[in-house]
Chains A and B, each alone.
Chain A
Amino acid sequence: MARVAQERIRNFAIISHIDHGKSTLADRFLEICGLLEPGKHPEQFLDRMDLERERGITIKAQAVRMTYRAGGEEYQLNLVDTPGHVDFSYEVSRALAACEGAVLLVDASQGVEAQTLANLYLALESELVLVPAVNKIDLPQANPERVAEEVARLLGVEARSVLAISAKTGAGVPQLLEAVVERVPPPSGDPAAPPRALVFDSTYDPYRGVVCFVRVVDGELRAGDEVLAMATGARTELLEVGYLSPDPVPTGVLAAGEVGYLITGIKDVGLAKVGDTLTSARRPAARPLPGYRDPKPMVFAGIYPADESDFEDLRDALARLKLSDASLVFEPETSKALGFGFRCGFLGLLHMDIVKERLQREHGLSVVATSPSVAYKAVMKDGREILVRNPADLPSPGHYDHLEEPVVEAVLVTPASFLGAVMELSRERRAELKGMEWLSEERVELRYRLPLAEVITDFHDVLKSKTRGYASFDYEFSGYAPADLVRVDILVHGERADAFSAVVPREEAQSYGRAMARRLKELIPRQLFDVAIQAAVGSRIVARETIPARRKDVLAKCYGGDVTRKRKLLEKQKEGKKKLKMLGKVEVPPEAFVAALGLDRRK
């Protein structure tokens, strides 16, 4: 492909709610531009990772270059794919920052949803030009006029500027692509300035090292250049420079306005993080591009090997995962109940699931995870701030002035008929209503500020069940806020079982304590003595259950001299005893731990 002047480059993304047809639309674009042959490729071609295709979401951003011909002109289109999950909203914002425009894609029967809105707000922050379209107009339940109305109202445009398409059949897709070329402005960087390239994704390839996906804003980058990552200070030579189409095409150079990939000699994605600016090491830019943020894990959980002897393997596996996942953090921790493991930080619950699954799938490890929690901030009497990633580590109440917890700004879209149920749920979850807008006569957008801890329990599931699946929800981290929280400890026969400590709102301490004590009573087998299960806030007991002593454990009759069977049963019982974990004097089978850790705070 010949070099194309900046005015004939279009960098754009597709933003939509999950399942509104983004990946199918990308397939059609690729077909129109001749990169794929219709009917001869797997569906949703750009979702490459197995995990992505199974879960129907895009985890890592990708960028594919297409050549588009119109009016005798050749255009270079760069379609930047964005992650589709709230855990990766920072990555979404960086991918959008690499673009000048975006297709806003809305399902013609579902209408605007929370994720549409959340991504729309991110796009507006990056001052993107939006090309709205309603999709799935071929479906019998589609209502393109109503949804186009909704979208138009949202963007403050006229309804007829909203295109109607079916990504599945291809109807209207050429017109949409034409609109992208017409409406999205070309890039406008300075080709002569020192180079600045925005990293909007990076992956680790065990054979080639770190691969960065970048948007060159100013200047140009060439293979062989030595570049500097301005946030981390890492330097590396560019081993290869090119673009995806959709397979890698090495070109040796990426010029201002272009999107492509760089293969670096770096062995750790932590040195070329999403949002960083790459510049020339010899002729560095004066200042980086705006918007860089260190990846900040929001959700924490203990990850322990199911078999204690796998500890070293788990450490190696986490270290290897981190090479391709800069947002994963981990440090060793010890639990009285679970042994040696790691406290891991994740971007969110999906990220945590993905890491657990990759440990299992790619490293063959079976792990036990404690209930996820957020990181609390203890503001001490002397003003120091301590970040507490494990509830069991929270200092005692006398030592801190107050506690703070992470909060999120959430967008929630619901049919008006479920407004009451949504408002009630929000009150229960300590959500503060910040704004409300009618998207249409039937649908409402609500904006809330609520504790992240509420979100990572079961907020989404309950919301779905209370609204029969019609409401949608998305959120973004927005800092810390003071909260009236207490730590509830679980004492088993007088010993604190650290894995079950939880930080909860003061008024919920008792109900949490009761639920956990009841659960443990069911799960811990009877011992030779009565075992008290207590829930305590500080030294105050808020709930108590007793597991009565076991009274009978004896083999039946030694029938007809069959001593062998009996001996084998005892040998088996002896083997089983070795696997028991000790909570002080109380023996607990490992399965009981796993089951108890699955307790939701509200069940």
Chain B
Amino acid sequence: MDAAPPGIQGRKPRAWPGRCAAGVEVPAFGVYVHVPFCASRCSYCDFNTYVLPRGTWKIWARAVVAEARVARELLEEAEAGSLYVGGGTPSLIDPDLLGRVLNEVASLFSLTSGAEVSLEANPEDVTPARLRAWQRIGATRLSLGVQSFSGRVLSTLGRRAGADQCEKATLMALEAGFQVNLDLIYGTPGESLEEWGETLQRAISVSPQHISCYALTLEEGTPMMREVRRARLPAPDPDLQAEMYLLAVEELGRAGYTRYEVSNWALPGHACRHNLIYWTRGEYWGLGPGAHSFLGGTRFWNLRRLGPYARAALSGRLPVAGWEVLTREEEWLERLFLGLRLADGVDDVLFGETGWDPDGRVREELRAMGLLLREGQRIRLSPRGALLSNEVFVRLVS
């Protein structure tokens, strides 16, 4: 696509003033960098990643920097308040190469000093040397793809690290001074409630500042989906997953973690600022193949495959695959479902503005069912409501 999506040219996204959410200052603009490489594909994963030879990393690095330059030519000014390096497996690639990319991106987007710089890492890649290297290139926060502390679950998921390695990586990262998040998955086929409880306990015992818990979802085209279809693996049981979620709410709450979003917990003051940009509908530019951006009321997304992406970026074009300008209704819908994901919830004002549920009957019904909680003008999801959030959203807007 030659022409830039509408509404971007000449914009001046800035980090501040941001907004306050989940007890932290959320910047108004951040940058995401997608590293699409993995050492191997996990059985459940349908993200935009590929297992490619090392030689391609450099192409990726040059293309990302090229894209950042094109972006900056379009934006009149830019000042990012956060940088998030996700994947894929950012920890897989050579830290020096990564560092050169981040350095360029930070300077092109005028990354503010003291900004949150997150890096996703696999436990098997974490070594003291790597930790030092990542610190050198500016990372402040490590999000570790632990997924589970059960060896059996890890092997079903097709993860490379074992439970002990996961624990050791976490301790080392904390020791080195990183803010640490553990990504956990619950409801893997064959996982019992007890096993999940043990994973939670072990996660709590190593004391990271942040924990994310996601229900395993079967995605089309993944090896796990094929195994389930052939009945070689049991399908995830949604009732059990519900139990597991409620157990996480209870255990993590007891350990002092605040659930500030449906699937995210943090010690006070440690919520992830970058992810909060997404949920508060702040602006962001996503660099890299398949990355998503949101600027000036337009959402756009990049070409997913490395080849086409790099060709476009390296020839000085935006490597955009598609875009949409949000209508007013779409914007309302986003405000509702993203807002309700946050513990802060949404304000009744939204309903007045949109005309949804004019007499408040649906909200009252959902409250009576224990799915919505109300405090003054604000409504938010209860833990049970969070589990049924799709149904709650649809009812509120129908």
Contact = CB atoms under 8 A, between A and B. Distances in A.
B301 A562 contact: yes
A207 interface: no
Contacts of A553: 387-391
Contact of B397 (A561, A563, A566, A574): A574
Interface in A497-550: 528-529, 548, 550
A578 B394 CA distance: 10
Given A560-B286, A561-B294, A570 B394 contact: yes
23 contacts: A550-B388, A551-B239, A551-B384, A552-B238, A552-B242, A552-B245, A553-B388, A555-B390, A558-B278, A558-B338, A558-B341, A560-B286, A560-B291, A561-B32, A563-B299, A563-B338, A567-B334, A570-B394, A571-B333, A573-B394, A574-B394, A577-B394, A577-B398
A564 interface: yes
Interface string B366-398: 000101000000000000101111110110011
Contacts of A560: 32, 34, 47, 86, 286, 290-292
A557 interface: yes
Interface in B344-371: 369, 371
Nearest to A527: B391
B26 interface: no
Interface string B245-278: 1000000000000000011000000000000011
B134 interface: no
Contacts of A551: 238-239, 242, 384, 387-388
A557 B299 CA distance: 18
Contact of A564 (B32, B86, B299): B299
A567 B278 CA distance: 13
Nearest to A548: B239
A286 to B, nearest CB: 71
B209 interface: no
A563 B292 contact: yes
A420 B367 CA distance: 64
B43 to A, nearest CB: 15
Interface string B285-329: 010001111100001010000000000000000000000100000
B50 interface: no
A554 B387 contact: yes
B57 interface: no
A161 to B, nearest CB: 65
B369 A528 contact: yes
Given A550-B238, A555-B390, A561-B294, 15 more contacts: A548-B239, A550-B388, A551-B384, A553-B388, A554-B388, A554-B390, A558-B338, A560-B292, A563-B299, A564-B299, A564-B324, A567-B334, A570-B337, A573-B390, A573-B394
B60 interface: no
A566 B387 contact: no
Which of A552, A553, A570 counts the most B-chain CB atoms under 10 A from its CB?
A552
Contacts of B397: 574
Lowest 10 CB-CB distances: which A-B pairs, in order?
A: A551-B242, A556-B217, A552-B238, A552-B242, A561-B292, A553-B390, A562-B292, A552-B387, A554-B389, A561-B278
Contacts of A573: 390, 394
A585 to B, nearest CB: 10
Contact of B391 (A548, A550, A558): A550
A145 B384 CA distance: 79
A361 B175 CA distance: 75
A528 B333 contact: no
Contacts of B286: 560-561
Contact of B239 (A552, A558, A564, A567): A552
Given A528-B388, A560-B291, A570-B393, A554 B215 contact: yes
Interface string B150-185: 000000000000000000000000000000000000
Contacts of B398: 574, 577-578
B398 to A, nearest CB: 6
B217 to A, nearest CB: 4
Contacts of A557: 214, 263
Nearest to A556: B217
A283 to B, nearest CB: 72
A560 B286 CA distance: 8
Nearest to A558: B278
Contacts of B390: 553-555, 569-570, 573
Contacts of B371: 528
Contacts of B334: 563, 567
B284 interface: yes
Contact of A563 (B245, B278, B291, B394): B278
Contacts of B2: none
A578 B245 CA distance: 30
A87 to B, nearest CB: 44
A449 B395 CA distance: 55
Nearest to B243: A551
Nearest to A529: B369
A493 to B, nearest CB: 15
A556 B215 contact: yes
B389 A555 contact: yes
B241 interface: yes
Contacts of B277: 561
B189 to A, nearest CB: 15
A566 B214 CA distance: 15
Contact of A552 (B215, B284, B291, B330): B215
A564 B286 CA distance: 14
B144 to A, nearest CB: 15
B269 to A, nearest CB: 22
A555 B279 CA distance: 14
A566 B301 CA distance: 14
A584 to B, nearest CB: 15
Contacts of B384: 551
Nearest to A562: B292
B116 to A, nearest CB: 15
Nearest to B391: A553
A9 to B, nearest CB: 70
Given A551-B238, A561-B292, A556 B214 contact: yes
A556 B245 CA distance: 13
A529 B391 CA distance: 12
B115 to A, nearest CB: 17
Contacts of A529: 369
A524 to B, nearest CB: 15
A558 to B, nearest CB: 6
Which of A560, A564, A570 counts the most B-chain CB atoms under 10 A from its CB?
A560
Contact of B337 (A562, A567, A578): A567
A527 to B, nearest CB: 9
A567 B324 CA distance: 12
Nearest to A551: B242
Interface string B179-222: 00000000000000000000000000000000000110100000
B278 A554 contact: no
A567 B388 contact: no
A38 B386 CA distance: 77
B294 A563 contact: yes
Contact of B293 (A548, A554, A561, A574): A561
A469 B242 CA distance: 52
B333 A567 contact: yes
Which of A548, A563, A569, A574 counts the most B-chain CB atoms under 10 A from its CB?
A563
A567 B387 contact: no
A441 B251 CA distance: 81
